[in-house]
Chains A and B, each alone.
Chain A
């Protein structure tokens, strides 16, 4: 536990330092570049990474499924559809509205999933099936949007779906902040309750957990965290899967340790993936979503083969 915490803090600190120094101009960059390009980017990586990791970690307990991620709730599809429509419409909107539409789409999709699954009255497998359905539905609508789009807009939509952290100024960080607080605080206050979900609804209920209310609250927290992150950086996958599982291997499944360390782990993964995306084909950048999917794909397969219990 202590070793993991120290390692993550060291990785975060070196990541921040390296990220501050990384860029076409290296250490010779003027201070404006560092203050308005590199620093906000670091903050965005940290907040988005922590949000996505905590969201996945919460969902894995509440849905009692090791393969649950924010995308299990249809979040990526929802965000993709709304952002896709806005880009297709060609209306020139403030960038802020584009972020907000991604978030709104993500939250709407997770609400649709919730209602399709019978508002949590049925068991969690119903919720996962509903999420898969919403995801498929969203993906088809998005394909239709892409099919109807002129080439220039098509590129824009595809680029948005890949996710990116390239920003100037603090707007996106500030956008994400309220979602981060609104999702992180209730989740962190419920680590003991999350532990109770591990032994099933009936055991949790018999020990005094209002499982219907708590499950809904935790699902909302997870959706808000992922929705905010998706709005700010695009639908970046796999952080919510890789991080909690790796941390669980290191410190065990007690959510009182697992959840805060997953937040830190998500921040570290995003920081380092971002550094990687900037140096591989420097001075150009690879989309961070692509890097994380390339990492996440094999990891997902590993999980399927190893079948860890939850």
Chain B
């Protein structure tokens, strides 16, 4: 079972100023972890820090199965960890299936053509996200939400042990958002580690098993959702508005109540 372990991990845009600090947690394969927190709390920076993108500085460590992620070479890392940014640009003149095939890049040489195996994986990935019907459409002719699904399929076709997603549900309608979180939870059941930031706890049903709560660049809480959401004072303080998160029924969906909903 894969294990992603964070020890006092911090990341930011300059060596002196860390945008997110104090992340210590262990995630094992088979679970979905939601990273929540207000705007600017460091959710995206945390994911970028794990990926060691150019211009991002980090301290502490993240290890995948006891190997330091920042010491892996790019190609090795690309074979193990996939990443979906918030709003990647739409490629000009590529069809959806061609865009998904870009995710096979780490598994072949820089100019080789797509093997039948690559194409099968890409079509499977499109089917998994429910976007098979888009396969031959040009990505600059489909909607933002549909492009989101195509990009998600591209990330799946990379076939990695870890998938990091930055607000995967944004720009998706209720149906597709529900389908997305269901898919993430299915992927986790196959042993994949899923780490996804989100602003919309209520859209994810009960798809996540763990929650990391960030506030002002600090990791405030990590644990099972029922434990993190237990204190409504904590959430109200973090989001600077009275709020409460409750479960619709034991084991059911999480629902956010704004204001004092006594």
A15 CB to nearest chain B CB (Å) = 26
Chain A residues with CB below 8 A from B106, complex form: 207-208
Chain B residues with CB below 8 A from A200, complex form: 85, 88-89
**Do B94 and A252 have beta carbons less than 8 Å apart?**
yes
B137 CB to nearest chain A CB (Å) = 12
Chain A residues with CB below 8 A from B79, complex form: 208
| Residues 81 to 101 of chain B near chain A (Cβ within 8 Å) | 81-83, 85, 88-95, 98-99
**B104: nearest chain-A partner, CB-CB:** A207
Q: How does the 8 Å CB contact mask read for B144-176 relative to A, with 1 for contact and 0 for none?
A: 000000010010001000000000000000000
**B74: nearest chain-A partner, CB-CB:** A208
Most buried by B among A188, A191, A196, A199: A199
**Do B111 and A256 have beta carbons less than 8 Å apart?**
yes
A192-B110, A208-B105 known; A202 vs B90 contact (CB < 8 Å) = no
A191-B111, A206-B83, A208-B77 known; A196 vs B92 contact (CB < 8 Å) = no
**Do B109 and A202 have beta carbons less than 8 Å apart?**
no
A16 CB to nearest chain B CB (Å) = 28
**B140: nearest chain-A partner, CB-CB:** A309
Asked whether any CB of chain B lies closer than 8 Å to the CB of A281, the reply is no
Q: How does the 8 Å CB contact mask read for A164-199 relative to B, with 1 for contact and 0 for none?
A: 000000000000000000000000111111011011
Q: In the assembly, what is the distance between CA of A207 and CA of B155, in Å?
A: 9
**Do B105 and A308 have beta carbons less than 8 Å apart?**
no
Task: Please tell me which one of the listed residues A207, A210, A248 contacts residue B92 in the complex, with CB atoms under 8 A apart.
Answer: A248
B139 CB to nearest chain A CB (Å) = 9
**Do A192 and B74 have beta carbons less than 8 Å apart?**
no
**Do A192 and B92 have beta carbons less than 8 Å apart?**
no
A210 CB to nearest chain B CB (Å) = 6
**Do B88 and A208 have beta carbons less than 8 Å apart?**
no
Asked whether any CB of chain B lies closer than 8 Å to the CB of A156, the reply is no
**Do B89 and A198 have beta carbons less than 8 Å apart?**
yes
**Do B54 and A212 have beta carbons less than 8 Å apart?**
yes
Q: In the assembly, what is the distance between CA of A208 and CA of B79, in Å?
A: 8
A198-B89, A256-B113 known; A207 vs B158 contact (CB < 8 Å) = yes
**Do B82 and A206 have beta carbons less than 8 Å apart?**
yes
Q: How does the 8 Å CB contact mask read for B34-71 relative to A, with 1 for contact and 0 for none?
A: 00000000000000100101110000000000000000
Chain A residues with CB below 8 A from B88, complex form: 199-200, 202-203
Asked whether any CB of chain A lies closer than 8 Å to the CB of B217, the reply is no
Asked whether any CB of chain B lies closer than 8 Å to the CB of A149, the reply is no
Q: In the assembly, what is the distance between CA of A189 and CA of B109, in Å?
A: 10
**A66: nearest chain-B partner, CB-CB:** B92
Chain A residues with CB below 8 A from B54, complex form: 121, 201, 205, 211-212
B132 CB to nearest chain A CB (Å) = 20
**Do A248 and B105 have beta carbons less than 8 Å apart?**
no
A205-B53, A206-B78, A309-B140 known; A192 vs B109 contact (CB < 8 Å) = yes
Q: How does the 8 Å CB contact mask read for A236-277 relative to B, with 1 for contact and 0 for none?
A: 000000000000110011101010000000000000000000
Asked whether any CB of chain B lies closer than 8 Å to the CB of A153, the reply is no
**A64: nearest chain-B partner, CB-CB:** B89
**Do B94 and A202 have beta carbons less than 8 Å apart?**
no
Asked whether any CB of chain B lies closer than 8 Å to the CB of A158, the reply is no
Asked whether any CB of chain B lies closer than 8 Å to the CB of A9, the reply is no
**Do B85 and A202 have beta carbons less than 8 Å apart?**
yes
**Do A253 and B91 have beta carbons less than 8 Å apart?**
yes
Asked whether any CB of chain A lies closer than 8 Å to the CB of B134, the reply is no
A252 CB to nearest chain B CB (Å) = 5
Asked whether any CB of chain B lies closer than 8 Å to the CB of A209, the reply is yes
**Do A199 and B74 have beta carbons less than 8 Å apart?**
no
Q: In the assembly, what is the distance between CA of A195 and CA of B93, in Å?
A: 11
**B81: nearest chain-A partner, CB-CB:** A206
Asked whether any CB of chain A lies closer than 8 Å to the CB of B261, the reply is no
B37 CB to nearest chain A CB (Å) = 20
Asked whether any CB of chain A lies closer than 8 Å to the CB of B30, the reply is no
**Do A205 and B74 have beta carbons less than 8 Å apart?**
yes
Chain A residues with CB below 8 A from B74, complex form: 205, 208-210
Asked whether any CB of chain B lies closer than 8 Å to the CB of A143, the reply is no
Asked whether any CB of chain B lies closer than 8 Å to the CB of A310, the reply is yes
Chain B residues with CB below 8 A from A205, complex form: 51, 53-54, 74
Q: In the assembly, what is the distance between CA of A191 and CA of B111, in Å?
A: 6
Asked whether any CB of chain A lies closer than 8 Å to the CB of B7, the reply is no
B167 CB to nearest chain A CB (Å) = 14
A81 CB to nearest chain B CB (Å) = 33
**Do B78 and A207 have beta carbons less than 8 Å apart?**
yes
B148 CB to nearest chain A CB (Å) = 13
Q: In the assembly, what is the distance between CA of A258 and CA of B98, in Å?
A: 14
Chain B residues with CB below 8 A from A206, complex form: 51, 78, 81-83
Most buried by B among A188, A190, A310: A310
A224 CB to nearest chain B CB (Å) = 19
Chain B residues with CB below 8 A from A253, complex form: 91-94, 98
8 contacts between A and B (CB under 8 A): A66-B92, A196-B105, A203-B83, A203-B85, A206-B51, A206-B78, A254-B98, A258-B93
Interface residues, chain A, with chain B CB atoms under 8 Å away: 64, 66, 121, 188-193, 195-196, 198-203, 205-212, 248-249, 252-254, 256, 258, 308-310
